[in-house]
Amino acid sequence: MNDNPTELEYAYLTKRVLQLTGLDLSGYKQEQTQRRLRALMLRFRVTGYAALVHLLEHNPTRCQEFRDFFTINVSEFFRDAEFFEDLRRVWLPLVLEKHPTRNLRIWSAACSIGPEPYSLAMLLEYYFPGQSYNILATDIDRTALAHARQGGPYPEVAFNKLPASLQERYFQKRDNGYYLDNTLQSWITFRPHDLQQGLFGQRYDLVVCRNVIIYFTAQVKRSLYPNLALSLRPGGILFVGGAEFIYHPEQYGLRSLSGPFYTLADK
């Protein structure tokens, strides 16, 4: 296997992958992407980028496996539980205090197989009973979205950070895993969306985009942050991953609040 592909070979691969799968690998950090490509070629038993492209062109099953492999679907309920606690105690009450009767509009971007939007729904249902809300959950991976829409199955390890009271209240155990209560699913709309293609609507009270930005190149981040800012309504909150600190957020129209929480910059 060629462990040192040329820039031309890599550019050709990313171009064909975009055409075949809709995934724009050029927006992801090249070193990480090439490491994942090597792992995938070992799995597929092909040598070199040209052979990988040929396989993707002629084998739809492998093409779908490639797409699934490169869309990051590692997730769990209430991931980074301390930040969800901050959201519950500080930031959601702040938003609701300003507009106590308004229907909350929430966007869960890069939602993977669903634990994040469902965590948000459980948080609102359990701790803010009677509060009206709608959650738009998006992801580039249609296979992951199909999993999310059916509310499971989820393995036991997905509940490591979820309070036991919420697991008992909102999940049912079946032979192949845990499934979500149907009542929560009615408040969430799942739609396909590629973050690199721009924002998905505006005037959200809460935008949650966590643990995906870290994989993008600096260039993609510079275009993504302003779009996330534009998606917020005045006083809205942006919630990113704990390792996704935004340096100089004011250049993107944002203002730091605390930890992974941001809002629109004062004008």
Each residue's pLDDT tens digit, 82-121 = 999 999 999 999 998 887 667 899 999 999 889 999 999 9
* Residue range 211-265, pLDDT digits in tens: 888 778 888 888 899 999 999 999 999 999 888 889 899 999 999 999 999 999 8
Cα–Cα distance between 46 and 51 in angstroms, integer?
6
Entry pTM: 0.78
Domains in the chain, CATH or no CATH each: 7-70 (no CATH), 81-264 (3.40.50.150)
Output 202 or 256, whichever has higher pLDDT: 256
- Model confidence over 134-163: pLDDT tens digits? 999 999 888 889 989 999 999 888 898 898
Tens-digit pLDDT profile for residues 27-50: 777 887 888 888 888 888 988 898
**Assigned token pair, 135:** 């959650």
For the residues of 182-239, what is the DSSP string, one character each? Answer: HHHHTTEEEEE--GGG----S-EEEEEE-SSGGGB-HHHHHHHHHHHHHTEEEEEEEE
How far apart CA 219 and CA 212 sit, in angstroms, is: 15
Which residue's structure tokens are 């869960």? 108
C-beta neighbour count of 176 within 10 angstroms: 10
